[in-house]
Chains A and B, each alone.
Chain A
Amino acid sequence: MSATDIFGLGGCGLLYVALAAVLFPLRRLSAGVRYAVMMAFAVAVFIPIGGLSLAESMRGTTGDLSVPTLALAASACASRIAGRTLFQPREWSALLGAVAAAGLFLYPFALGLTPFDPYALGYGSAALTTVLLFATLAAWRAGLNLAVLVVVVAAAAYLAGAYESRNLWDYLIDPLAALYGLGRWGSDALRGIGRSFQRRKS
């Protein structure tokens, strides 16, 4: 098994554990049992059943997961298993807003809407790097540590060739993170509209 397989499958395994942590009522269990159950599940997702493990099955569907998706999965595990919050809601809103905006820019064009293909810039483009640098510096100045951390880890993983992809976009964003970000954006917007409606009524 290559290093890229280990990183790719590791990410898929982490997402499985996060989904299990969100879906199962873990809070009813004592801390010791909770850790033991999730450790056993984390091992189980890598054991082949009928030729393939759960992690391999997911990898066939999703491909390798971007750093924002891994951050979301790690956060879900920390919150549901250890009861710890890794970053404040403001940090998540900023990161997911940026990922959603990037998804709205990337996917329609990459899927053939126009002759312009922003995905091609991810193979090594000074322009894309400069845009990302300014966005990262803005996040750093605003104290958005999660966004900075995600960009730094994604860039380091890309430079190290952690995944099969040699395209920077694949480390920065995937459709799961973009859809989650769009959903979060939408629900925040609806909540805002609801609140202003309530205020006007009262």
Chain B
Amino acid sequence: MSARALKWTSLAVIALVFAGLYLRALDAPPPAAFVPPRSAAQPAASKPFFKPQLLPNSSTLSVHSATAVELSDGRLRAFWYGGTREGASDVAIYTSVYSPVTGSWEPERMLVSREPAERRLQRSLRKLGNPVAGRDAAGRVWLYYVSVSVGGWAGSAINAMVSPDEGETWSAPRRLIASPFFNISTLVKGPPLRLADGTIALPVYHEFLGKFGELLRLDGEGRVVGKTRLSWGTSSLQPVIVPRSENEAVGFMRYAGDPPGRVLMIRTGDAGARWTAPVKTALPNPNSAVASVLLAGGPLVLVFNNAEENREELALALSADFGDTWRVARSLEGEALPPRAPVPEYSYPWIMQDRSGDVHVLYTWGRSRIKHAVFNRAWLEGGG
């Protein structure tokens, strides 16, 4: 081929691949509305109840970061990570199922451990971390979990696996690519959200050079197909997003900046296309994770450590105006609530409302156990 022919052929190839790129750009998923969660609103006259219990997670010395999803038969499946200590190579992800009929948890079983995970992901892994669970539009259960190949938590990446049968069997894990810098420093803590077009919005955060939140958009195969920044800088992480309508949502974040430590709040009114800059709420935050849920027909609930310096009190706050003002309603753990954990740390809460309207909170109890508290709205609103 002559040099001239080669030159024009290369131009034709350029035209062809850029036509493909433009088609792909046009095909990118447009913003999609939130799907607000639906649960049964409980009658205010219900008899108050509150039932706390420790999960039977006795096979590991250290546990942390519980998450849960309601199963199709009304039971709850929880996941958490456990091992000899946080960051150890023997840390694995465990699961157990709670029956609201018997009020008890099944024995735990190991679901993901490091070596099988690295073989299935075709890459080296040093340790495993936070899991979060959710459900997609097709009813499948998704589990996202953090893994680290090099360094500490700043070197994290997220993996996803899906179960078609309520968590009994799982697909091979898939690596989510969410950062251009060796794909490091992306972690999960908040629950995924379903969007109206069938995609999933997964709140994530980074903690490498900066600490900030993002919302990843995942397609039906669990691939990242878009993202939106929730904050920027070096002081906000572990976002939790709570939709109220198709377009409106509020988000809360852990604060890692200069004192005073306060729970951070963001808002969107256009289905997450844009978010307000984080503002400090009146609620304290000792650089610890929070959890939130909007109860059916009721107030917004926030689970948080009610102190600026430590994680010794875990409390529930209510807001009747979607986050503008708060009332601390109940304490789940605190000095006046024996028995105390060997290490008085109550942290990493997860909150959800089941279809009957009962509220479940799971949290780390002294780094040695996962604790579950189930209560109704009458108990929640009767305190404070």
Q: Which residues of A contact B177 (CB under 8 A)?
A: 63, 163-167, 170
Minimal beta-carbon separation of A60 from chain B (angstroms): 3
Of A21-29, A88-96, A131-139, the one contacting chain B is: A131-139
B20 is an interface residue with CB less than 8 A from chain A: yes
Interface range on chain B: under 10, 10 to 19, 20 to 34, or 35 or more? 35 or more
Contact partner of B11 (CB less than 8 A), chosen from A107, A140, A163, is: A140
Chain B residues within 8 Å of A119, by CB: 179-180, 227
Chain A residues within an 8 Å CB radius of B10: 140, 145, 148, 152
Check A83 for interface membership: any CB of B closer than 8 A.
no
**Interchain Cβ contacts within 8 Å, total number:** 151
B150 at interface, CB cutoff 8 A: yes
Task: Say whether, besides A60-B150, A111-B210, A159-B20, A164 and B124 are in contact (CB < 8 Å).
Answer: no
**Considering the chains assembled together, what is the distance between the CA atoms of A151 and B150 in angstroms?**
30
Asked whether B18 lies within 8 Å of A155 as measured between CB atoms, the reply is yes
Interface size on A, residues (CB 8 A): 55
Does A112 contact B232, Cβ atoms closer than 8 Å? yes
Decide if the interface of chain A is mainly helix, strand, loop or mixed: helix
Tell me whether A113 and B20 are in contact in the complex, defined as CB-CB below 8 angstroms, given that A60-B124, A61-B149, A173-B180 are known contacts: no
Rounded to whole angstroms, the CA-CA distance of A129 and B25 in the bound complex is: 8
Q: Which residues of A contact B (CB under 8 A)?
A: 1, 5, 8-9, 51-52, 56-57, 59-63, 106-107, 110-115, 117, 119-120, 122-126, 128-129, 132-133, 136-137, 140, 145, 148, 151-152, 155-156, 158-159, 163-170, 173-175
19 further interface pairs, Cβ-Cβ under 8 Å (given A111-B209, A165-B224, A166-B223) = A57-B123, A60-B123, A60-B150, A61-B150, A61-B182, A112-B211, A124-B225, A126-B26, A129-B21, A129-B25, A140-B10, A148-B10, A151-B14, A152-B14, A155-B17, A155-B20, A159-B20, A167-B180, A173-B180
A-B contact pairs, 23 of them (CB 8 A): A8-B122, A52-B118, A60-B125, A106-B180, A111-B179, A111-B185, A111-B210, A112-B206, A112-B234, A113-B210, A120-B226, A123-B217, A123-B225, A126-B22, A128-B25, A136-B18, A140-B10, A152-B17, A158-B21, A159-B21, A165-B224, A175-B180, A175-B182
Binding site for A on B (CB under 8 A): 7, 10-11, 13-14, 17-18, 20-22, 24-28, 115, 118-119, 122-125, 149-150, 174-175, 177, 179-183, 185, 206, 208-212, 214, 217, 223-229, 232-234
